[in-house]
């Protein structure tokens, strides 16, 4: 009977995600939090990332203030000094996610690790931090392109993880999030109806507005990003064309086409510059 039960348990274990081995912890610098449906329900687990971005801080042009802020904060975190959770907001394609990847590239050799968590899995944040708390490494939980609609469950989970749970924040875990929305929630004209003003004309936001800013204000550091000016955009293009091995003469010849490329896409950004550089280098290298 015991043998049959052991065989049954061994069989059932094949349906469960396996915990990371010591070798996987040591050899991996980035992980993704995944969920797998099984006969026991949906089970969360960490999956090592095989191919990690090699972008560096030097590759990111014209966002020096933001770069220095995230580098200093991450350096403090690695050195076990006080450090803040960070919210990076602003125009799309301006380097928000790339700065976080560059932070990993810079500090991985000093024990930094990255755990990417998708929005639909934010309810697992408490389980994730508990899993990481006893590890010797320093972890950044990375939430990319974060925004919420009214009533989404991940919103409250994120608030608790940042500063609202009865448990203290885990010492070796920070949260870095990117978003195109400053306050992470949609904002409507009707929200302004809750504003009140005193006799001296001072304005006070209503409960709806207070609730909508209560998550973003729990991030200790806010970094804002804006579309580059034309000269800045061309400098980014030139950097990537040089990266792909083009000569100064070839880079100069690409300027007008780079502007047309941005015009056709309706925006100038680091991402657009990177996409143009790949297209141009592929055709002219």
Domain ranges (residues) in the chain:
57-225, 230-283
Report CA-CA distances (Å) from 140 to 14, 67, 78, 218: 30, 16, 10, 16
Q: What angle do CA 139, 142, 144 make, to 5 degrees?
A: 175
Burial class (CB in 10 A: 0-12, 13-18, 19+), 284: middle
Say which residues have a Cβ less than 8 Å from residue 66's Cβ, sequence separation at least 6.
88, 95, 99, 223, 224, 225
Report CA-CA distances (Å) from 270 to 43, 229, 267: 38, 11, 10
Phi-psi region of 142 (alpha: psi -120 to 50; beta: other; left: phi over 0): beta
Q: What are the tens digits of pLDDT across the range 8-39?
A: 445 455 556 678 898 999 999 999 999 876 66
What is the pLDDT, as a whole number, of residue 264? 94
Alpha helices in the chain (DSSP H): 2-13, 22-27, 64-78, 96-107, 125-132, 153-163, 207-213, 230-243, 248-253, 255-265, 270-284
The fold for domain 57-225 equals: Rossmann fold (3.40.50)
Q: Rounded CA gap, 191 and 45, in Å?
A: 39
Calculate the CA dihedral of residues 185, 186, 188, 192 and round it to 10 degrees: 10
This prediction has a pTM of: 0.81
φ, ψ for residue 202, nearest 5 deg: -70, 135
Burial class (CB in 10 A: 0-12, 13-18, 19+), 96: buried
What is the pLDDT, as a whole number, of residue 41? 64
Q: Please state, as a whole number, how many other Cβ atoms lie within 10 Å of the Cβ of residue 79.
A: 11
Q: What are the tens digits of pLDDT across the range 216-271?
A: 778 889 999 999 999 999 999 999 999 999 999 999 999 999 999 999 999 899 99
Q: Which residues pair with 43 in a beta bridge?
A: 36
What is the pLDDT, as a whole number, of residue 13? 53
Q: What are the tens digits of pLDDT across the range 124-145?
A: 888 899 999 999 999 999 999 8
């Amino acid at each position: 009977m015991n043998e049959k039960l052991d065989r049954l348990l061994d069989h059932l274990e094949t349906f469960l995600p396996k915990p990371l081995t010591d070798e996987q912890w040591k050899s991996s610098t980035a992980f993704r939090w995944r969920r797998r449906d099984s006969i026991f329900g949906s089970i969360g687990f960490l999956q090592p990332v095989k191919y990690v971005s090699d972008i560096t801080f030097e590759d990111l042009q014209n966002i020096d203030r933001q770069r220095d802020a995230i580098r200093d904060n991450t350096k403090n975190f690695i050195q076990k000094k006080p450090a803040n959770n960070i919210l990076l907001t602003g125009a799309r394609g301006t380097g928000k996610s790339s700065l976080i990847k560059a932070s990993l590239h810079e500090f991985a050799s000093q024990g930094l690790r990255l755990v990417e968590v998708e929005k639909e899995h934010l309810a697992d944040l408490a389980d994730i931090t508990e899993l990481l708390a006893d590890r010797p490494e320093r972890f950044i939980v990375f939430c990319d392109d974060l925004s919420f609609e009214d009533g989404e469950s991940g919103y409250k989970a994120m608030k608790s993880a940042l500063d609202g749970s009865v448990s203290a924040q885990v010492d070796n875990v920070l949260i870095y999030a990117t978003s195109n929305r400053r306050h992470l929630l949609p904002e409507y004209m009707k929200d302004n109806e809750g504003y009140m003003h005193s006799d001296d004309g001072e304005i006070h936001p209503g409960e709806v507005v207070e609730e909508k800013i209560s998550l973003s204000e729990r991030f200790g550091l806010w970094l804002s990003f804006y579309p580059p000016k034309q000269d800045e955009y061309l400098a980014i293009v030139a950097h990537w064309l040089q990266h792909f091995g083009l000569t100064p003469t070839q880079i100069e010849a690409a300027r007008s086409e780079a502007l047309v490329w941005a015009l056709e896409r309706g925006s100038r950004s680091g991402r657009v510059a990177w996409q143009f550089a790949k297209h141009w280098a592929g055709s002219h290298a």
